[in-house]
Amino acid sequence: MKKENIRHDDFSPVELPKTRRALFSDLCHHEWRTLFSTSFLLALFALPLFSDYLAFSVFISSAYSSGAEMSSIFALFFYAGIIAIPCIVILFIGLAGAYEVGKQLSFLEGVFTTTSFFYGIKKNAKADLVMGLIASFSFALAFIGSLYLLLFYQASPIPMGIGIGLLIFQFIVVSGMAHFYLSQEAIYANSAGASLKNAFLFTLMKLPQITLVSLLSPGLFIALLAINDIAAYVAMAVFVLFSAWGILVSSLYTHAVFDRFINESHYPELVGKGLYKKED
């Protein structure tokens, strides 16, 4: 078996990065092949979601061109959102593998990219399906509900704006929970219920910070999809090539939160793992 993309000159203790920002920079420099490979592997699990978008973008464009009634156009958006639910669940299976790679990189453990990715799926896919179902229904609710309000409640701009704001806010909260949940499952042997509870509490405590992380992923991807077809193709290319960078940012940030609220009390050996420690 070939070991992939591991730095050949091991870190001595004093060479370890002192901050997670420095660790991110070092990993981008030394492990870019691993990050690209992980992005390509994750893209395989995004293919159903890409197909859903591409198919319905054709149907919706044709409906607009033919002058179809607004109710018919909304029906197409509705079915696209419903079909996206199982597609997002499939994507979360891939995320189980990607977060395992993100954890191993963050902890400066040796990474066999393909082996580590599919080990993460084998270990965490069932638990991550729980978060996948929650995230997919949250997205469908925000997507379908916002479009319904935009198409049929334009005469009531204030209620429409409040409704869309609430729908987007619940998706932001669930997206934040997904970051914490997936990262927990890669590290700890929690039950799905315990991980969900912790993810919700961490999201409430760190909502501004985790919202910024979510703006990178999945926010950037969704924003590009919403602009036009050309931007959507850019979004898909960015995902295929660079999604693992977003996973790495998510892993490094959530690990910092876990150090403060979990590891200091229960897993001191994990505090600052991968970083320089004075006692070294």
pTM (two decimals)? 0.91
What would the mean pLDDT of 56-77 be, rounded to a whole number?
91
- Per-residue confidence at 156, pLDDT binned at 50, 70, 90? confident
pLDDT of residue 14: 61
Boundaries of every domain in the chain? 17-270
pLDDT in tens, 203-226: 999 999 999 999 888 888 888 888
Rounded to an integer, what is the distance from CA 117 to the centroid of its chain?
A: 15
pLDDT in tens, 234-254: 999 999 999 999 999 999 999
Q: Is pLDDT of 2 > 80?
A: no
Quote the crossing angle between the two packed helices 32-65 and 113-152, to the nearest 10°.
Answer: 30
pLDDT in tens, 170-202: 999 999 999 999 999 999 999 999 999 999 999
Give long-range contacts, CB 8 A cutoff, 24+ apart: 27-33: 27/105, 27/106, 27/248, 28/245, 28/248, 31/5, 31/7, 31/105, 31/111, 33/4, 33/5
pLDDT of residue 278: 61
